[in-house]
Structure 1
Amino acid sequence: MKALLSAVALAALTAALPAHADDHSDKLSASAQTIEPQVRTRDLSGTFGGQRVNYRATIGETILTANDGKQEAVVVTTSYVKTPRDASRPVFFIYNGGPGSGSVWLQMGAFGPKRVAIPSDARDDGAPPYPIVDNPDSLLDVADLVFIDPPGTGFSYLTEGTDKTKYFGLEEDGKAVAEVIRRWINDNGRWNSPKYLGGESYGTTRTAMVVRELEGGTYNDVGLNGLILISTILDFAMREPTPGNEMAYVATLPNMAAAAYYHGKVQAPSVEAIAEEARQFAIGPYASALLKGQDLPAAERAAVRAELSRLTGLSETYLDNAELRVTSQRFYKELLRDRGLTIGRLDARYTGKDYDSAGETPDADPSFYGIDAGYTAAINSWARDTLGFETDREYQSIGSVGQHWNWKIGSGWGRNAYLNVAPYIGQAMRQNSQLRLFNAQGWYDFATPFFGAEYSLNRIGIPQDRVTLEYYDAGHMMYIRDEDRQKLSGDIRRFIRAR
């Protein structure tokens, strides 16, 4: 979201998270004037991973300029650095997704020194006040943390007259974030510190583009120790059910089985067990049947339909009418139609009640509107009231940046053709023998399906002995669930320490 809205995170991908469309494009830019970057610091302390840590919290602006010196973008970072300063400590650069999502989700939900306490059991966050509490699961005991709000997200913005196309795109955003990282490393004297990079949802896509700039670009000057991916989307064909793209149905089938299991529509010893059954069926008989198209024999169709019904909890009649191809949107509405409920996209554990039960798709995503208010309140309170950041700008937790996004890479690739950024990760790992990758996926996340992430990360060219996969009993923003936030923190802590 959120993740990147992941959460929050949502989360999120333009399609992986609700657009929260803002038609007022003037909010993305500021008046043309010389801007003096604002920096605010606070010296604080807390207990993280069982260790007492003194740290300096700094929220500040980095100004990106054009070749002619024009100030084009103001990028806000929030860093938490252990005091006294220790250059041997790892630094973890973190962002969320969208594109258009601020870093609020991972900062106030998972890894920052404070977090917003919202219900852990897939209930909505209700009304304020929302508790902002100490976060013992923060990673400050093992790494200094730098949260980045890319241009157009959070409090970051473009100045008046700046061409959006220079910053709002796969390559453009990657270059901007890479520059901010280089600037932070230089300003803080951390060139020889171990470095980790990662994000949530589209933030995992961004990671591939940023590592391309840092390790595979013109300068190739920033060595990385690890990539930390949360709710991963690298191969976009895995989530686009365009007619004829059968892999989108293959990739989401295990998610449907997991969601059906959670809501009592199918029986299995565990979510892990049903997920594995669905994986094997999806990549085997199901994929084979879909690829045969209209040549699929009647007997084989019947057998596949019966097993598909068993795994998803949907009727054979419905599956037959859908030609064995059920989109995620239809599944959210159909799974619990008999109960008058829909399920969440970011987190299928959440349920909602639509205006009526007759439609094909849900009115909204109950797993997003169930958490967004608490996170927005928390980041504004923390940044403005505690850290002292002064601005009249609204914090863009999920903004309109995605409406302007350039999904092409160079002159040949485009989102509607075949967009897969995983090869950039493979190239970086092959060129850096100590670069490792950690991947976290929720069983109930339809925005970035776990099977799609597995598929994209085990392709040729990615060294499998340096890839770690972990799973969680929640959705896109698995850290919303208390047990999974603790597990995620522990898993990443071990990953960092293992260098």
Structure 2
Amino acid sequence: MASRRYALLAAFLIAAVVTSSAAQQGPPPKGDPPKGLATTKDEKSRSGDDKKGAPKVVAPEAKDDKKAPPTVTTDGSVIIAGQKVEYKATTGTLPGTDKTGKAKANIFYMAYTRKSGDAPSARPLTFCFNGGPGSASSYVHLGFFGPRRVLINNDGLSAPSPAELVDNECSLLDVTDLVFIDPVSTGLSRAEVPGDAKLFHGLEEDTQSVGEFIRDYAAKFGRQGSPVYVAGESYGTTRAASLSAYLQNRGGVKLAGIVLISTVLDFQTIRFGGANELPYALFLPTYTATAFHHGKLDKKWAVDLPTALRESQKYAAGAYLEVLHKGALLTEFERQAAAKQLALLTGLSEEFVLRSELRVEATRFRSELLRDQQTVVGRYDARVSAKVAARPAPGEPPVPTGTPGATGTSGATGAPGTGAPTGNAAPPASGPGGGPGAPRGERIGGGDPSAALLSPLFTAAMRQYLPDGLGYKSESAYVLSAPVQPWNYGPAGTNQYANVAPRLRSALEKDKGLRVFVASGYTDLATPFAATNYTFAHLGPRALMDRVTMAYYDAGHMMYTHEPSRKKLREDLRKFITAPVAEPATK
């Protein structure tokens, strides 16, 4: 029989509601390396000659001489839901403190406050950030929450070039003021001394620095009485869950709600490798959604996505778990039966599934699904695809050569970025690993066409928007994706997978008014929706789920790049933020 852990997964996945409506980081931008980032220097400054035994005199590391400009304030307006919303934009930095409380960095932020005439404390205030770790807030800022957004074609599969900014009719600025935070080393946030950047590169260090920024901002701008929300995407959800406990313990700010977009709280649910069998079951429904979008599903389920997903979740939570549990003890009949069912649910061949020992990792799925078309599908959004240069050996990720687009289109000449993108999903908790874009046991030599589509757009758009739209001019280049490895997971990642779900549970148990909104994309192969379902099924007592809203979108990691999903997410979050505050239950 499957273990109790598998049984609990089965119970939740089968009960999961499938709703059909109707992404993140790419390679770091090309150009000069960002100033102020930690760099290893071979200190050879010595007194006298460089002889064995000679005393070594290490020169003190110079501070970053590119000072941040003073705070800049501008005015603007945007039409949201047919209503003109006037706002004040404030751009600047606040000191970033290390764990001792000493200022060691400048944390950059961009804030929008609606001119409503209401007292500041009457307006909700939402702090937004992306993930990585090492990602600036550009995606959630110019992709969804802010008053301006990067123009992407309505299907989310392509975008005009060069980057173009338009008014964002789906911004949440009509219902909440917004603050976008760039953690140290990202955006324009820099350690004062480059070598000190490492003091902020870790789960606890990052939680502390961002948490103190939130407390400092609320105190400086008189927002300590506002209903405060934190909104994170991908590794940003890890940060948000950790912040829920940190802010609760530190005081000064009381969270009203937490918004999690493309969630990863328990890294065991998404890391392939070793004896960890969970991801194979938890990725399966996303494989099904991807195959559906590319016309590779068996005709039995090719017409209706909700039906296909229900069937996939049922198998993933039941018979497939038993297959994984038995391992090498499967009979030949059981192996063949499992391969047949997996092939039907994934669009892959039975032969490939058998060769994969009934365990298909995400990268191999991406390169195999459309092999007959010499096409690879995206990781952050598996609806996006790109032609490849050649057919590598079966199971090897191919190298894209054309512009990302819909299946079967080669696009223009010119290769998207290659190599492992510095994305939002963090590396295995056991150590720094191979970087956040490449889960352990996978090889992403062919890159991710969905990341290649978005990374250049958002980099160019933000570098244009800062001086032209916000009047903020800096000598430093805005860094969309920063090299922050090795990332220190500390106690949460010592000889185990990092898991911050217990912190969120603790915050929910202590504050009976705290609520959580969770958004998941069906074609997200970085943080699959079934893995998120599993995490919340194991969060704690069932009563906690009464304050958790789960929402699903027919798109990827950055579901807001898909117009129907963006509109649905906007409406879902509007309802979440404006919902009446329920009185805590009393005994």
Q: Tell me if TM exceeds 0.5.
A: yes
Whether 1:180 and 2:217 are equivalent positions in the alignment is: no
Whether 1:373 and 2:456 are equivalent positions in the alignment is: yes
RMSD: 2.1
- Cross-structure match for 2:295: 264
Per the alignment, do residues 133 and 308 of structure 1 end up closer, same or farther by CA in structure 2, a change over 3 Å counting?
Answer: same
1:48 to 65, 72, 80: 80
Alignment of 1:172-251 (within 5 A): 172-215=205-248, 217=249, 219-251=250-282
SS at match of 1:486: helix
1:73 to 92, 105, 116: 105
Alignment of 1:4-43 (within 5 A): 10-12=23-25, 18=27, 24=33, 27-28=36-37, 31=63, 38-43=70-75
Structure 2: distance between partners of 1:335 and 1:50:
42
Per the alignment, do residues 460 and 471 of structure 1 end up closer, same or farther by CA in structure 2, a change over 3 Å counting?
Answer: closer
1:472 to 553, 558, 574: 553
Residue segments in structure 2 that go unaligned for 5+ positions in a row: 1-22, 39-61, 399-445, 582-587
| Counterpart amino acid of residue 458 in structure 1 | A
1:93 to 121, 127, 130: 127
Structure 1: distance between partners of 2:85 and 2:392:
55
Give CA deviations for 1:61-117 in whole Å, capped at 9, x if unaligned. 111245888641111111100124532010011000111111110111101001111
- Cross-structure match for 1:138: 171
Structure 1: distance between partners of 2:99 and 2:345:
57
Q: How many angstroms does 1:240 deviate by?
A: 1.0
Decide whether the 8 Å contact of 2:261 with 2:518 is kept in 1: yes
Give CA deviations for 1:312-334 in whole Å, capped at 9, x if unaligned. 11111111111000110000110
Q: How many angstroms does 1:190 deviate by?
A: 1.1
SS at match of 1:393: coil
Q: How many angstroms does 1:272 deviate by?
A: 2.2
Decide whether the 8 Å contact of 1:75 with 1:151 is kept in 2: yes
| Counterpart amino acid of residue 73 in structure 1 | A
SS at match of 1:139: coil
Q: How many angstroms does 1:37 deviate by?
A: 6.3
- Cross-structure match for 1:302: 336
Of all paired residues, the percent bearing the same amino acid is 40
Per the alignment, do residues 452 and 22 of structure 1 end up closer, same or farther by CA in structure 2, a change over 3 Å counting?
Answer: farther
Whether 1:485 and 2:566 are equivalent positions in the alignment is: yes
| Counterpart amino acid of residue 380 in structure 1 | R
| Counterpart amino acid of residue 487 in structure 2 | W
- Cross-structure match for 2:489: 407
- Cross-structure match for 1:439: 518
Q: How many angstroms does 1:35 deviate by?
A: 5.6
- Cross-structure match for 1:6: none
Structure 2: distance between partners of 1:71 and 1:427:
29
Per the alignment, do residues 25 and 41 of structure 1 end up closer, same or farther by CA in structure 2, a change over 3 Å counting?
Answer: closer
Of structures 1 and 2, the larger Rg is shown by: 2
Decide whether the 8 Å contact of 1:75 with 1:156 is kept in 2: yes
- Cross-structure match for 1:352: 386
Whether 1:59 and 2:59 are equivalent positions in the alignment is: no
| Counterpart amino acid of residue 517 in structure 2 | F
Greater CA drift, 351-360 or 432-441: 351-360
SS at match of 2:188: coil
Give TM-score scaled by structure 2 length: 0.78
| Counterpart amino acid of residue 344 in structure 1 | G
- Cross-structure match for 2:284: 253
Per the alignment, do residues 20 and 289 of structure 1 end up closer, same or farther by CA in structure 2, a change over 3 Å counting?
Answer: farther
- Cross-structure match for 1:417: 496
Q: How many angstroms does 1:124 deviate by?
A: 3.4
Structure 1: distance between partners of 2:312 and 2:385:
23
Structure 2: distance between partners of 1:488 and 1:376:
24
Decide whether the 8 Å contact of 1:348 with 1:367 is kept in 2: yes
Structure 1: distance between partners of 2:490 and 2:102:
26
Decide whether the 8 Å contact of 1:22 with 1:400 is kept in 2: no
Decide whether the 8 Å contact of 1:20 with 1:399 is kept in 2: no
Structure 2: distance between partners of 1:167 and 1:263:
42
Structure 1: distance between partners of 2:69 and 2:215:
17
Per the alignment, do residues 67 and 97 of structure 1 end up closer, same or farther by CA in structure 2, a change over 3 Å counting?
Answer: closer
Structure 2: distance between partners of 1:19 and 1:323:
35
| Counterpart amino acid of residue 11 in structure 1 | Q
Decide whether the 8 Å contact of 2:34 with 2:479 is kept in 1: no
| Counterpart amino acid of residue 265 in structure 1 | K
Residue segments in structure 1 that go unaligned for 5+ positions in a row: 1-9
Structure 2: distance between partners of 1:421 and 1:37:
36
Decide whether the 8 Å contact of 2:36 with 2:64 is kept in 1: no
Per the alignment, do residues 271 and 224 of structure 1 end up closer, same or farther by CA in structure 2, a change over 3 Å counting?
Answer: same
- Cross-structure match for 1:326: 360
Per the alignment, do residues 65 and 349 of structure 1 end up closer, same or farther by CA in structure 2, a change over 3 Å counting?
Answer: closer
| Counterpart amino acid of residue 196 in structure 2 | D
2:475 to 388, 392, 405: 392
- Cross-structure match for 1:285: 319
Give CA deviations for 1:223-270 in whole Å, capped at 9, x if unaligned. 211110001111111111112111011111111111011111114242
Greater CA drift, 65-74 or 284-293: 65-74
The alignment covers a number of residue pairs equal to 479
Structure 2: distance between partners of 1:92 and 1:436:
14
Per the alignment, do residues 285 and 111 of structure 1 end up closer, same or farther by CA in structure 2, a change over 3 Å counting?
Answer: same
SS at match of 1:367: helix
Per the alignment, do residues 85 and 388 of structure 1 end up closer, same or farther by CA in structure 2, a change over 3 Å counting?
Answer: farther
